[in-house]
Chain A
Amino acid sequence: MLSHLSLYEQAIFVLAALLLYTCFSLLAHTRLLDLIRAFAWQGVLLAATCALVAWVLEQPHLYISAILTLSLKGFLIPFALHRLVIKLKLQHTVEKVSSPTTVLLSGVGLVIFSYYVALPIEQLSTEITRNVIAISLAMVLLGMLLLISRSQAVSQVVGFMAVENGLFFAAVVSTYGMPMVVELGVAFDVLVAMVLFGVFFFQIKDNLDSLDVDQMNRLSEVDE
């Protein structure tokens, strides 16, 4: 039973469940600012997980990742997105999701799917990794679901970053992070991607007069 696990593992489970919850709240929020706030919470939770692993398992390099995550995903990126949304005057936009319940239910389906995918992984090291891999896979898939179900460029970016968060969670808990070179590289990529996204927002806005990506359909017309 769960009570046989150490308090650390229980805490990781709770954090995993909360992260999963933030993914669902990302799917449920239709206002951009709410979406960004939920995303920031996800970043903070992720950093907390990272710090917890660092503290309990004495992996000092994870403190760096925790700080990096907190500053980047908890503050910097949400803050930048927030500023962009205000600057582009999108704060009152409510996104139309064609059928929110279906999206949420398919999200649940994805969670179950990722559970079955992770099921055959034998518990190699600590007992918790398999379950954590299931959860992080679910986070990745839910981020992709967000990307598919939304047409606002901002939400797509949040989905993109949420996918990244899922990956990071898997890395932190199952392998105590990646080697430092890789982690720094990934953080750099994420940062550059964010800057690029910011640039793109303005370009899309200039061209389409809105950030609704569904209006991008010129290329498919060329095609047939």
Chain B
Amino acid sequence: MDWLLALLQTALFVFGAPLLLGWIKRLKALSQNRQPAPVWQPYRDLRRLFHKEVVIAHHASWLFRITPYIVFGAVVLVASVVPLLVTSLPTAAIADVIVLVGFFALGRFFLALAGMDIGTAFGGMGASREMTIASMAEPAMLMAVFTLAMTASTTNLSTAMLTILHEGLVLRPSFIFAALGLMMVAVAETGRIPVDNPATHLELTMVHEAMILEYSGRYLALIEWAAQIKLMVYGVLVLNLFFPWGIATETTTNALLIGSVVILAKLMLLALILVVSETVVAKMRLFRIPQYLSFAFLLCLLGALSHVILEAGYII
């Protein structure tokens, strides 16, 4: 039963992710006074891509073909361990934050390799940019994670959530910083404005898109889908780690129902915040990104510091 639930939760992640993107796109269109596409538009796009013929460069190696599967697989694995509705699942045992960061890194590594595999200028450029961003985003993310781990004395996601749930509403300066920092990292990692623009194909500004420019058909579909799941995973992480209230701690129907409603509401709200911030903020020049990320790192570092200085003295 529990395993079934875990499977169900993963499926929710995988199949719900396009919906989240559709919602974001819809909000964005509304905010820009455009006629919005329906929220299931991403599903249609994916279906169309799956049906299309795959065109691959002549000298593409096996690496190029295998990468989409690895990327997708890694993201699905991540999705399977992040608690979405309920904390006490059998997968919770392996729901470690560091594993999670590792999985993301694995996917990115292969994506960068594939970008360079074809040998076009764009692929290489995209790969190098992506790795630059990652090299600065990952320390920040880890720092945020450490802050959380220090508070909960664990790196296990569901245990951490449970600890925070148990303590009730506590004003934690470290969490304010860590949450803000993590959000900034999430924006960078999922390629949103102001770091990257998912809707652009302008060579000067592309990061993620440049890397996957050579993909088509089902390969492209898988990569896009993986990106959507990644966005959702980050959203859920921020929400459930820092505001875990509402998540089910036991597997009763009632609790699950409440859990799904709450997470849905939270995600919708987060999407709204994302859209507002993307509307207000302009895309940065590429050379400003290190500043942005070092600011995120500073925030996370401040989070860790304020944990040590202000909060840690009271561990009895």
Contact = CB atoms under 8 A, between A and B. Distances in A.
Interface of A: 1-5, 7, 10-11, 13-14, 16-18, 20-21, 24, 28, 101, 104, 108, 111-112, 115, 127, 130-131, 134-135
Nearest to B294: A101
Contact of A13 (B171, B294, B316): B171
Interface of B: 151, 167-168, 170-174, 176-177, 294-295, 298-299, 301-302, 305-306, 308-311, 313-316
29 contacts: A1-B314, A2-B311, A3-B170, A10-B170, A10-B171, A13-B171, A13-B173, A13-B310, A14-B171, A14-B172, A14-B176, A16-B173, A16-B310, A17-B173, A17-B174, A17-B177, A17-B302, A17-B306, A20-B305, A24-B298, A111-B305, A115-B305, A115-B308, A115-B309, A127-B313, A130-B313, A131-B309, A134-B309, A135-B309
Contacts of A135: 309-310
A18 B174 CA distance: 10
B64 to A, nearest CB: 37
A101 B291 CA distance: 9
A24 B306 CA distance: 13
A3 B311 CA distance: 9
Contacts of A131: 309-310, 313
Nearest to A4: B314
Contacts of A7: 171
B187 to A, nearest CB: 19
Most buried by B among A5, A130, A131, A135: A131
- Most chain A beta-carbon contacts within 10 A, residue among B172, B294, B305, B315: B305
B295 A28 contact: yes
Nearest to A111: B305
B315 A104 contact: no
A3 B168 contact: yes
Contacts of B306: 13, 16-17, 20
Nearest to B174: A17
A218 B151 CA distance: 54
B164 to A, nearest CB: 10
B173 A14 contact: yes
A134 B313 CA distance: 12
Nearest to B180: A21
A104 B170 contact: no
Nearest to A112: B305
Contacts of A111: 305, 309
A112 B304 CA distance: 11
**3 closest residue pairs by CB, A with B:** A17-B173, A10-B171, A17-B306
A104 B301 CA distance: 11
A13 B309 CA distance: 10
Contacts of A28: 295, 298
Contact of A127 (B294, B309, B314): B314
Contacts of B316: 1, 4
A7 B309 CA distance: 18
Contacts of B301: 108
A24 B64 CA distance: 44
A173 to B, nearest CB: 12
A123 to B, nearest CB: 8
A21 B177 contact: yes
A2 B305 CA distance: 15
Given A20-B302, A21-B302, A127-B314, A2 B170 contact: yes
A3 B151 CA distance: 11
A106 to B, nearest CB: 12
